[in-house]
Amino acid sequence: MNSKIILTALLIISLASCKSKSAFNYSEDIIKKERSLIPFIEETESKVEKFAGAEQYDSVAAAGANMEKLVQEKINEIEKMPVPKAKEADSFKKAMLKYFKYIKSMYTTYKEWGNAGSTEERDEIALTMQKIVKDKDNIIREMQAEQRKYAKANGFRLEKE
């Protein structure tokens, strides 16, 4: 009788541990996708600043289009990832996709700004760019709140940078 209770308890603990590990791995896989973009983001931001200063708008558009494509590839990868059977997994995935789409929107705007046909059009797009930049802190805060909620619900801690 006692051995049946212990075996059942071990089985339950084992299953809970697997779910937590699956949830953790899912989180880590998405975070790796985000981190893989960092060197490209840094390089692109540097190029865009240089090209914009030299009024090489076609180069700004090309840099924006390249990053837009790269970020979309990450979005596609995340969309294809099966959601683990874990608490808050759907909300976490939705928040991460929103964050990646936000990043993509910055580069779409760079592309549009570089392709603009006139100074007036460029000025109009610059206003859109300012709004996107203004939203950055809120988007990041929402994404991080969902990450923490997901981690807490599934019994793991997020890695600190």
What is the residue extent of each domain of the chain? 2-153
Output the pLDDT for position 156.
Answer: 87
**pLDDT value at 11 more than 80:** no
pTM of the model: 0.85
- Using left for φ > 0, alpha for ψ between -120 and 50, and beta otherwise, residue 89 falls in alpha
Distance from C-alpha of 158 to C-alpha of 161, rounded to nearest angstrom: 9
- Match 């006692």 to its residue by tokens: 2
Query: Which pLDDT tens digit goes with each residue over 109-155?
Result: 999 999 999 999 999 999 999 999 999 999 999 999 999 999 999 98
Query: Which pLDDT tens digit goes with each residue over 34-88?
Result: 999 999 999 999 999 999 999 999 999 999 999 999 999 999 999 999 999 999 9
> Which CATH code is given to the segment(s) 2-153?
1.20.120
